[in-house]
Amino acid sequence: MSRTVPLRSQRLRRSVLSVPAINARALEKSHSLDCDAVIFDLEDSVAPEKKAQARENLRSFFAGPALEGKERIIRINSLSSEFGPADLDLVRALLPDAVLLPKVDEPQDVTDIGDLLADADAPEELRIWAMIETPRGVLNVGAIAESSRTPGSRLDCLVVGLNDLRKETGVLPQPGRTYLVPWLMQVILAVKAYGLDALDSVFNDFRDGEGFDAECGQGRAMSFAGKMLIHPLQIEAANRYFGPSAEEIAEAEAIISAFADPAAKGRNVINANGRMIERLHLVQAEALVHKARLISARKPA
């Protein structure tokens, strides 16, 4: 039997901006941006000789004003690298909302980090996100997602990393991502089976608005929760594509009203304006309206 995720567990993840932790100016700018979440990156965007400075930048940033209305995620380097252990120590000290693990190949990668956080008495609210960006990660994505069912698991979200996946497989970066779609849908099936979120990969050319729009539309059609971004110019489009439209909200509200009619009491299927609607559509409608309310509540004044 599939697990129904409570509405209260939903988080807005339409637009998740990656900010290099070495860039102090970009860190400060994140306060004023309308993204749903920020990934503070200690990995790919920070040169080896700058890793220590990037950690100090994050210490200073977290000591300042809180990042209101946004989920805070720190992407660390692999624990097998020389930088990973110090990154994890920083996570334990700063207690962001989540830690993002790079190049997750198998469930044990997630379990090991979870055990280290538990041993350090990190609060349960500190979640784990996993980058799926290697061939082994894609092959094992079902098992990785299933690990979220183990007692004490902190796994909350999978993030697709196509740049590394293309590099390791030789698949060319073509419009439409034709040869990558099967792998993307494997990630979607995995998260849907176990009640997690999945974020679509970055779009590298932030100046190509038309191409970014097309990829956002594709990601939304695939049922990704949102997209990982590399530039503030991409935030508005991501929010628009991965948020419900006015038409979708109106339709959802109509479905909720139809099932609220006393005549629909105890019925799993009803006829509303010539359309057969099942109670499963009510669950979907309630989730969509809840998401719309979350968006409305966090809009800037």
Label residue 214 by pLDDT band (50, 70, 90): very high
pLDDT at 249 over 70: yes
Q: What distance separates the 2 farthest-apart alpha carbons in the chain? A: 68
Q: Is 164 annotated as a binding residue?
A: yes
For the segment 222-249, the average pLDDT, to the nearest whole number, is: 96
The DSSP string of 24-59 is HHHHHHGGG---SEEEEESSTTS-GGGHHHHHHHHH
Label residue 188 by pLDDT band (50, 70, 90): very high
pLDDT at residue 160, rounded to an integer: 98
pLDDT at 241 over 90: yes
pLDDT at residue 270, rounded to an integer: 80
Question: Residue 229 contacts by C-beta under 8 Å, 6 or more apart in sequence?
Answer: 15, 16, 17, 18, 35, 202, 203, 235, 238
Q: Is 177 annotated as a binding residue?
A: no
Residue 134 and residue 179 in contact, taking contact as beta carbons nearer than 8 Å: no
The proportion of the chain whose per-residue pLDDT surpasses 70, expressed as a percent, equals 96
pLDDT at 1 over 80: no
For the segment 214-237, the average pLDDT, to the nearest whole number, is: 98
Q: Is 75 annotated as a binding residue?
A: yes
Q: What is the dihedral of CA 293, 294, 297, 301, to 10 degrees?
A: -110
Distance CA 100, CA 90 (A): 13
Among residues 295, 7, 37, which one has the least CA distance to residue 157?
37
pLDDT at 7 over 70: no
Residue 212 and residue 203 in contact, taking contact as beta carbons nearer than 8 Å: yes
For the segment 126-140, the average pLDDT, to the nearest whole number, is: 98
DSSP reduced 3-state for 75: strand
Please state the domain extents for the chain.
7-242, 246-298
Label residue 289 by pLDDT band (50, 70, 90): very high
Distance CA 58, CA 23 (A): 10
| Residue-wise pLDDT tens digits, 166-177 | 999 999 999 999
Question: Domain 7-242 - what CATH class?
Answer: alpha beta
| Residue-wise pLDDT tens digits, 10-55 | 789 999 999 999 999 999 999 999 999 999 999 999 999 999 999 9
For the segment 229-250, the average pLDDT, to the nearest whole number, is: 95
Instruction: Supply the mean pLDDT for the chain.
Output: 92
Residue 158 and residue 198 in contact, taking contact as beta carbons nearer than 8 Å: yes
| Residue-wise pLDDT tens digits, 261-273 | 887 787 888 877 7
Among residues 26, 205, 117, which one has the least CA distance to residue 40?
26
pLDDT at residue 269, rounded to an integer: 84
pLDDT at 299 over 70: no
Tokens of 154: 């902190």
Among residues 14, 67, 66, 75, which one has the least CA distance to residue 40?
75
| Residue-wise pLDDT tens digits, 65-102 | 999 899 999 999 999 999 999 999 999 999 999 999 99
Label residue 6 by pLDDT band (50, 70, 90): very low
Half-sphere exposure of 284 (CA within 13 A, CB side): 11
What is the DSSP-derived secondary structure letter of residue 83? S
